[in-house]
């Protein structure tokens, strides 16, 4: 039996505010207990399980983050887990103008149990990429799938590669000239964790094992690097696949967003 409480404790200890080297153009700033990530397409707030402040002091902490990014003309996202404290943090974020998105399921997998030879449909080739042209193709594929502007994805991936190419693996599954599926893995230095991100499949290629092949390939790379734990914030469509691959649910996460009124939406 897997000790999910132990997995959640490891996640809380190592995956909250330990970002490693900042991507090119991004800075990390601390405001009390929280980490403010500045310089990407959207501001991000990361915090320990318990932010350690309550009441009016917590309201001021939240308002400072909103106002900081408002002054920059940018939106900001505060990521909150279901077991976070204080318990009224969601209500206080909403009172400050943050809007919750649909929750994701936080799952962890043991890399050695998940790693396998990727099984691909006929005519599909799996390739690791880092060139700017490929990153633009990935952004275009994600824009096509999600129906919102994901152009920022190319810049974000490029910045990560520029900052430290050994901290990210970017994969594409190509069917001729088309990117049938795209995904990447981000490695957290000093931890056993790998974050599996991206995971986007063209509608006509869904149900043919590409998402699962991407999971298997990234898990194999994690094992090769001596890393033990795979982390995914999964959508309702992805969570069942991950469970069948051996992942274990430890909590849920919700992104609370404050977006300037004149700023359009985009993919996460």
Instruction: Decide if 100 contacts 94 (C-beta within 8 A).
Output: yes
Q: How many Cβ atoms are within 10 Å of 28's Cβ, its own excluded?
A: 16
Mean pLDDT of 108-119: 96
User: How confident is the model at residue 268, as a pLDDT?
Assistant: 59
pLDDT value of position 185: 98
| 77 neighbors 44 (Cβ within 8 angstroms) | yes
How far are the Cα atoms of 42, 106, 157, 176 from residue 115, in angstroms, in the given order?
Answer: 33, 19, 24, 26
Give the whole-angstrom CA distance, residue 85 versus residue 6. 18
Question: What value does the mean pLDDT take over residues 120-139?
Answer: 98
- Model confidence at 141, pLDDT cuts 50, 70, 90, reads very high
**CATH placement of domain 109-252:** 3.40.630.30
Rg of the chain over Cα atoms, rounded to whole angstroms, equals: 18
Q: Looking at the chain, how many residues does it have?
A: 268
Which pTM value belongs to this model? 0.93
The residues spanned by each domain of the chain are: 4-104+254-258, 109-252
- Give me the mean pLDDT over the 29-45 stretch: 94
Give the number of other Cβ atoms within 10 Å of residue 249's Cβ: 16
Count of C-beta atoms within a 10 Å radius of residue 26: 17
pLDDT at 175 over 90: yes
The rounded mean pLDDT for the chain is 94
pLDDT for res 2: 81
pLDDT reported for residue 115: 97
Q: Tell me what pLDDT residue 7 has.
A: 94
Report whether pLDDT(265) > 70.
no
Q: How far apart are CA 46 and CA 261, in angstroms?
A: 23
């Amino acid at each position: 039996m897997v000790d999910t409480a132990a997995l959640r404790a490891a996640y809380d200890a190592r995956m909250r505010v330990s970002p490693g080297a900042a991507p090119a153009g991004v800075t990390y700033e601390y405001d009390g207990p929280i980490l403010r990530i500045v310089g990407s397409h959207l501001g991000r707030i990361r915090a320990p399980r318990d932010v350690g402040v309550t009441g009016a002091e917590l309201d001021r902490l939240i308002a400072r983050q909103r106002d900081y990014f408002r002054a920059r003309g940018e939106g900001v996202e505060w990521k909150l887990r279901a077991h976070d404290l204080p318990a009224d943090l969601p209500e206080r974020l909403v009172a400050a103008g943050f809007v919750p998105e649909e929750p994701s399921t936080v799952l962890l997998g043991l890399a050695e149990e998940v790693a396998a030879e990727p099984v691909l449909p006929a005519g599909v080739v799996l390739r690791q990429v880092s060139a700017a042209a490929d990153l633009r193709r990935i952004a275009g594929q994600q824009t096509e799938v999600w129906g919102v502007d994901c152009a920022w994805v190319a810049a974000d991936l490029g910045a990560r590669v520029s900052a430290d190419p050994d901290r990210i693996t970017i994969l594409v599954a190509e069917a001729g000239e088309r990117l049938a599926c795209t995904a990447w893995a981000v490695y957290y230095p000093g931890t056993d964790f790998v974050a599996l991100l991206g995971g986007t499949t063209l509608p006509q290629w869904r149900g043919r094992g590409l998402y699962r092949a991407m999971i298997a390939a990234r898990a194999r790379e994690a094992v090769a690097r001596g890393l033990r734990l795979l982390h995914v914030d999964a959508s309702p469509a992805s969570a069942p696949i991950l469970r069948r691959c051996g992942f274990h649910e430890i909590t849920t996460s919700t992104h609370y967003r404050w977006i300037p009124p004149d700023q359009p939406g985009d993919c996460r």
